[in-house]
Amino acid sequence: MEKKTIENIDVYGKKVLLRVDFNVPLKNGVITDDNRIREELPTIKFLLNNGAAVIIMSHLGRPDGEVKMEYSLKPTAEKLGELLGIEVKFAKDCIGNETRKMANSLKNGEVLMLENLRFYAEEEENDKQFCEKLARIADVYVNDAFGTAHRKHASTYGVAKLLPNAVGFLIEKELKNIVDVINNPKRPLVGILGGAKVSDKITIVESLLNKVDVLLVGGAMAYTFLAANNYHMGKSRVETEMIGEAKRLIELADKKGVQLLLPVDHIVTNDFNNPTKIKNTVNANINSDYLGVDIGKQTVKLYKKAIKHAKTVIWNGPMGVFENDKFANGTKAVAKAMAKAKATTIVGGGDSAAAVIKFGFAKKMTHISTGGGASLKLFEGKVLPAVDVIENK
Ligand code: AMP
């Protein structure tokens, strides 16, 4: 069912409460990357041009329900004002008297930004009264925060139920690019999963086995799968308690006719923090003095081949400890192979998106999602609560 977008609702003369994701990186109060604010400009401009008064709300970091000024959204309000070329008013909280007055007197074409939602514990608790107070300052609710769309918070879920609502352009784009492809992929569909923990990704592996033709596994999570196949993993990060689950998934892949590819060699080092010895293993085993930090050269070849033959590729999670240049080759090679592939290529948010941007392949991808957790849920074919709650067209 298609969801209402801001093009399907009347916002003229209305106060629009817009949930955005301005969770930007800050260093000493200075924004080091303003992409999240820039990406939101089309939605904000559309609302302003159509005669709305826009009240913006967001979270920033994890202040855990307390007022911690290092997580103030003030710098983002200033940046937004600069980018829009108009004054962006700033309220020092979300639901106080003064803030209500500021919202009340806001005119069409004006913008008011609220302070960090997560200064209230009620936000993540989806507290009823908090939702009602937020709803009271506006006539219409718009959600454009894809990064938190898998969360049932007050600002992403509860408040949506209390006002006429729609999604903004960013969420609309994510849904079009991910949901449409996942529901009806050109095959072969190749999934690539990496990252640190199998325990985090068990349900994802299982759901993906129902969708993909080939699943490539890299990152530390591969070691638990290899341990399940009785390979030696040395000092690598193996989740012993998950070996049974990994075995079950390997069997499940087999039953479903999904090709589950695991690394056939690795880049290993003697010490994670002080890597004085680095080598490529000769096979999938890692000897007891070493730990795995990236996929090896033969694995890169194998994975590149699978990506080359794909018609659709979806990727989440780095192939190694890509933050260290010495261990970034596998992740970079996967990104490059996707960039070169004649396939629809979708990169989940978080680390894989950061890697693709860092290595300069962003323009070559069909879609790079802005939300890590949310895009994974869509890869799995799940419905996001914050999207589900929005009215259908
Ligand atoms: P995740 O949040 O589960 O996607 O994991 C991302 C993290 O996994 C990144 O910070 C990587 O450095 C880390 N990672 C990837 N491969 C390995 C590995 N072989 N050993 C330890 N950490 C890894």
Among the listed residues 100, 197, 237, 340, the single catalytic one is 197
Can you give the pTM of this predicted structure? 0.91
Is 197 catalytic? The answer is yes
Which residues does ligand 1 sit against, CB inside 6 Å? 195-197, 200, 219-220, 237, 292-293, 317-318, 320-321, 323, 351
Ligand 1 mean position, distance from CA 143 (Å)? 31
**Atom number of ligand 1 nearest to Cα 322:** 12
CA distances from 216 to 3, 246, 260, 313 (A): 33, 14, 6, 10
**pLDDT of amino acid 193:** 96
Q: Whose CA is nearest to atom 10 of ligand 1?
A: 321
Ligand 1 mean position, distance from CA 238 (Å)? 12
Residue of 202, 322, 351, 358 to mutate, ligand 1, most atoms within 8 A of C-beta: 351
Among the listed residues 218, 350, 371, 372, the single catalytic one is 350
- 3-class DSSP state of 221: helix
**pLDDT of amino acid 201:** 86
**pLDDT of amino acid 203:** 87
Is 36 catalytic? The answer is yes
Q: Could you tell me the mean pLDDT of each successive run of 10 residues in the chain, 393 residues long?
A: 94 98 93 93 98 98 96 98 98 98 98 98 98 98 96 98 98 94 95 90 92 97 97 96 96 98 98 94 97 98 98 97 95 98 93 92 95 91 96 96
Please report where in the chains the tokens 């983002």 appear, as a residue: 76
Strand-pair category, 266-269 with 291-295: antiparallel
**pLDDT of amino acid 13:** 97
**Atom number of ligand 1 nearest to Cα 352:** 4
Is 311 catalytic? The answer is no
Q: Return d(Cα 352, Cα 127) in angstroms, integer.
A: 33
Q: Return d(Cα 219, Cα 198) in angstroms, integer.
A: 10
E strand or H helix at 222: helix 221-228
Q: Whose CA is nearest to atom 12 of ligand 1?
A: 321
**Atom number of ligand 1 nearest to Cα 294:** 19
**pLDDT of amino acid 199:** 82
Sign of CA dihedral 158, 100, 117, 130: negative
CA dihedral 118, 120, 122, 128 (to 10 degrees): -110
Please report where in the chains the tokens 């638990």 appear, as a residue: 224
**pLDDT of amino acid 161:** 98
Q: Whose CA is nearest to atom 11 of ligand 1?
A: 321
Is 326 catalytic? The answer is no
Q: Whose CA is nearest to atom 6 of ligand 1?
A: 195
Sign of CA dihedral 347, 352, 354, 355: negative
Q: Whose CA is nearest to atom 4 of ligand 1?
A: 195
Q: What end-to-end distance do the CA atoms of the chain give, in Å? A: 8
